[in-house]
Amino acid sequence: MKKIKIKLVLAAALLTVFAGCKDADFDSYKIQSVDSHGNGGFVISTAATATGSSEFYANAVDAVTTEGEYQMIPVLLNATDVASQDIHVTMVPDPESLDVTNHALFDKIDAVTGDTTLHPENYYVQGGSAGTPAFTLIDNGVVTIPKGSSVGYMKIKTIPSDYFGKQVAYSYKISSVQEPGFIISGNHDFAVIAFIAKNPYDGTYAYGPPGKVERFTAGTQNPASDNLQGTFTTAYDVKLITTGFTTLAFSPLWANGGGVGGIDGTYITVDPATNLVTMASGNPTLKNIPGETNKYDPATKTFTLAFGWGTANKRTIRCTMVYKGPR
């Protein structure tokens, strides 16, 4: 068994949320890539996100009080065909990758918000800190990629409600493959998974009116023919996804409902003491519009947002998001 050594590159936007990859998606090669690097072998890798650009995700689950089994890290066979036999892959703790992820994620957030009190602690290793929730590692961390499939999962048993308000992450890497002839990927051989009970703001929201989008080119607002801007006339469904005790992943939309590019990793942070909101993104220019309202109203479960990004080609969005129900 060989291990390819490739320089690790962490994606700029680490705040990625795992939406739940299904076996069929992997088996039909919709969300994986063949990664043999010319070595002619079958590569075994992790796939924390569907794009493969980051090995971090926040797995937000309902805060139930009963123990359940949860799929944590997808482990893939990157080949043109499914596995011809069961493949057994051993995962081991990887605190070093968690440390790298914490620096990349939290240093970035603090630089954007300028307020470290919003993120008082990094993610810490499950079991590595006093009082962390109990869990059982299924099969002692041995992942089986079944014959006829391309994916297996590192699994745990645990009680989600025990994680509420905690910054716990599971950081594991591929240690070995029992069967001969397989290569361990050198840049996708680990994953860091934050296991989080959904926070009170998580859910599906009606996004848009009242509000508007403005787009500028070289300092001048674009003409009316730019249909990405204008007043919101339709309420679009968007999902706010827990990434921390008071933070949520958020994908803004243009006035016509189209997805906004260039601001990947946009998120909302709520100060529970004041209900004021701080907007930030993988794009460091995205910030609250000074002097305008960015807040959450717990009585009506409504976000009122005003944020913008860019310099000469500036874009601004003013919108409300009203809670509709769970996602």
43-101 pLDDT, tens digit per residue, is 999 988 765 567 888 888 988 899 999 999 999 999 889 999 999 999 999 989 988 88
Residues paired with 24 in a beta bridge: none
Give the dihedral sign, CA 148/80/90/87: positive
Q: For the chain, which residues make up each domain, given as ranges?
A: 23-197, 203-325
Confidence of residue 309 (pLDDT cuts 50, 70, 90): very high
Calculate mean pLDDT across residues 267-287. 95
Query: Rounded to whole angstroms, how far apart are CA atoms 33 and 52?
Result: 9
Confidence of residue 222 (pLDDT cuts 50, 70, 90): very high
pLDDT surpasses 80 at 118: no
We find that the CATH architecture of domain 23-197 is: Sandwich (2.60)
Interacting residues of 146 by C-beta distance below 8 A, sequence separation 6+: 83, 86, 152
Torsions phi, psi of 279, nearest 5? Answer: -95, 140
Confidence of residue 5 (pLDDT cuts 50, 70, 90): very low
Calculate mean pLDDT across residues 220-236. 97
Quote the pLDDT of residue 184.
96
Per DSSP bridges, beta strands 135-137 and 68-78 are unpaired
Report the predicted TM-score, pTM, of the whole model to 2 decimal places.
0.66
CB 182 within 8 A of CB 305: no
136-186 pLDDT, tens digit per residue, is 999 999 999 999 999 999 999 999 988 887 888 999 999 999 999 999 998
Kindly state the tokens that stand for 238.
């968007």
Quote the pLDDT of residue 304.
98
Confidence of residue 119 (pLDDT cuts 50, 70, 90): low
Quote the pLDDT of residue 217.
96
Quote the pLDDT of residue 8.
27
pLDDT surpasses 80 at 21: no
Cα-to-chain-centroid distance, residue 164? 18
Quote the pLDDT of residue 105.
72
Quote the pLDDT of residue 51.
56
Torsions phi, psi of 202, nearest 5? Answer: -60, 140
Torsions phi, psi of 306, nearest 5? Answer: -150, 105
**Which of 129, 167, 152 minimizes the C-alpha distance to 77?**
152
pLDDT surpasses 60 at 29: no
Region of poorest pLDDT, from 1-5, 156-160, 204-208? 1-5
Quote the pLDDT of residue 56.
87
CB 47 within 8 A of CB 188: yes
Mean confidence (pLDDT) of the chain: 84
Region of poorest pLDDT, from 98-107, 110-119, 233-242? 110-119
CB 234 within 8 A of CB 209: yes
CATH number of the domain located at residue range(s) 203-325 in this protein: 2.40.128.420
